[in-house]
């Protein structure tokens, strides 16, 4: 099984990648581009639709990452979905070459309401509903949840490297109520997203649960850089970008494509930065 290779642009736009001098190399080196804000609704913008169409013109497949959303993000995401449909109807976008990754059940509902003709994936913020990725293992811990996602058309799950070749229970699916043939895994490296907050750790004031996020804005410091975080009680170096804390695992986490197949991984996504 050939492993598909993708690149996650994160907070960088195609214009920013071109300005940095990295666009040509990325186009040569990767088959699929992951664009869009994976973690923060404040970065949602309708320009993503044009980027998706441009990448397809260059012969690339695209995955649009969508974050957890409040009522503010739902409105923004609904506009993006409608723009994508217009591009499909005009012939500028091929539905077979675009996927949507959802990190929120609200995003899944919006995709269904808009009758999007794109394949849906379950993002990294939804991984713990189905998978346990702690203690050097990738194991399915909820066969019923896996079956639920399958029934709504989701068969691909996005996970992060955990810095080792993990143990899996996929060959024993019958004991746990699942069939490994019903799902595939996209694996991001070299960063593991540890936790995400409702608001940005750096650029936003705290928004209490009872308060709407609709009128809250930020200065988008996450577009500039990530920040290194250290604590005397924690050995690992942590990185903060926006509302998410990451760990970096620079070492290679697999020996061969056979190892990846054992983990049901058929797609690797390189993240140049958290």
Q: Quick: pLDDT tens for 16-51.
A: 999 999 999 999 999 999 999 999 998 999 999 999
Residue 57 or residue 133, greater confidence: 57
Among residues 104, 108, 128, 105, the alpha carbon closest in space to that of 118 is found at 108
- Level-2 CATH architecture, domain 4-192+249-270: Alpha-Beta Barrel (3.20)
Q: d(Cα 101, Cα 158) in Å, to the nearest integer?
A: 8
Asked if the model's pLDDT at residue 255 lies above 90, the reply is no
pTM: 0.93
Q: CA-CA distance, 258 to 252, in Å (whole number)?
A: 14
pLDDT > 90? residue 204: no
**Residue among 33, 83, 35, 84 at smallest CA distance from 59:** 33
For range 107-122, the mean pLDDT: 98
For the cut 80, the answer to whether the pLDDT of residue 214 exceeds it is: no
When pLDDT is cut at 50, 70 and 90, the band that residue 1 belongs to is: low
What six digits make up the tokens of 190?
A: 């070299």
Examine the pLDDT at 226 and tell me if it is beyond 70: yes
For the segment 243-251, the average pLDDT, to the nearest whole number, is 90
Six token digits for residue 49: 């639709």
DSSP per-residue codes, 55-102: HHHTT-EEEEE-----HHHHHHHHHHHHHHHHHHHTTSS-GGGEEEEE
* Mean pLDDT along residues 119-148: 92
Q: Residue 128, SS3?
A: helix
- Between 245 and 201, residue with greater pLDDT: 245
Average pLDDT, the chain: 91
**pLDDT of the residue at 225:** 84
Task: Assess whether pLDDT exceeds 90 at residue 230.
Answer: no
Radius of gyration of the chain (CA): 18
Binning pLDDT at 50, 70 and 90, where does residue 215 land?
Answer: low
């Amino acid at each position: 099984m050939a492993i598909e290779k993708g690149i996650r642009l994160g907070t960088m736009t195609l214009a920013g990648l071109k300005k940095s001098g990295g666009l040509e190399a990325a186009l040569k080196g990767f088959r699929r581009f992951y664009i869009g804000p994976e973690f923060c609704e404040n970065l949602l913008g309708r320009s993503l639709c044009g980027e998706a169409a441009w990448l397809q013109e260059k012969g690339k497949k695209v995955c649009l990452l969508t974050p957890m959303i409040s009522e503010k993000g739902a409105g923004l995401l609904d506009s993006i979905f409608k723009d994508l449909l217009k591009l499909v109807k005009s012939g500028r976008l091929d539905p077979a070459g675009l996927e949507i990754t959802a990190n929120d059940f609200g995003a899944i509902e919006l995709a269904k309401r808009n009758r999007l003709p794109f394949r849906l994936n379950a993002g990294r913020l939804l991984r713990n509903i189905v998978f346990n990725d702690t203690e050097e293992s990738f194991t399915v811990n909820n066969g019923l949840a896996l079956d639920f996602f399958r029934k709504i058309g989701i068969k691909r799950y996005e996970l992060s490297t955990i810095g080792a070749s993990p143990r899996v229970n996929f060959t024993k699916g019958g004991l746990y109520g699942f069939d490994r043939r019903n799902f595939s895994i996209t694996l991001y490296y070299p960063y593991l997203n540890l936790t995400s907050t409702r608001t940005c750790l750096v650029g936003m004031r705290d928004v209490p649960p009872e308060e709407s996020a609709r009128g809250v804005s930020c200065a988008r410091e996450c577009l500039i850089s990530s920040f290194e975080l250290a604590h005397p009680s924690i050995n690992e170096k942590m990185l903060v970008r926006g509302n998410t804390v990451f760990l970096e695992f620079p070492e290679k986490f697999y020996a061969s494509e056979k190892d990846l197949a054992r983990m049901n991984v058929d797609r690797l996504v390189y993240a140049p930065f958290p």
